[in-house]
Amino acid sequence: MDGSPPTDEQSLTLPSIHVSLTSSPLSSDAALSRVKSPKAGAVVLFAGCTRDTFNDKAVLSLNYSTYAALALRSMQAIAKEVHAKHNLTAISITHRLGQVDVGEESILIAVSAPHRTPAWRAGEECLELVKEKVEIWKEERFEGGGVWRANRDGKAGVPVIDGKAT
């Protein structure tokens, strides 16, 4: 993990499955266009946004880091699993890296299916699997410091004060 976000989008694509990492702001239109199909009666989009507080602390921003090749493979495995389990028409997962300010999206998950129930369930299951399994770390930045967390357990890791790990 070198801590630097990619300068361009990195992605893996299979028929009906798209996963990507980017340092650019996310586009819900792009995510939806990847999954829309005449075969799908339901399209569900989940957008995970940076909120302004966490545990009564004011959040300044989040900073996401990863080893992209490993994270993309993990995301693709999850997408394949969810696609098959819920008989989806298509699935797209895009995660943002680098600084994500309050109100901005850090993840978009778009799924399509012939019917709404599998689409709803697939979107939620996909998010939980991404948080549990994908090798992405986030620094929560607060006034005067922050803390690194792994998506997997959500537990606080190394505290950061004035930009330096303590």
Annotated binding site for substrate: which residue ranges?
115-116, 131, 138-140
Q: What are phi and psi of 132, to 5 degrees?
A: -80, -35
- Separation between Cα atoms, residue 81 and residue 41, nearest integer Å: 21
Tokens of 32: 């939806």
Planar angle of CA 158, 137, 119, nearest 5 degrees = 145
- Separation between Cα atoms, residue 15 and residue 81, nearest integer Å: 14
- Separation between Cα atoms, residue 51 and residue 61, nearest integer Å: 9
**Which residue numbers belong to the known binding site?**
115-116, 131, 138-140
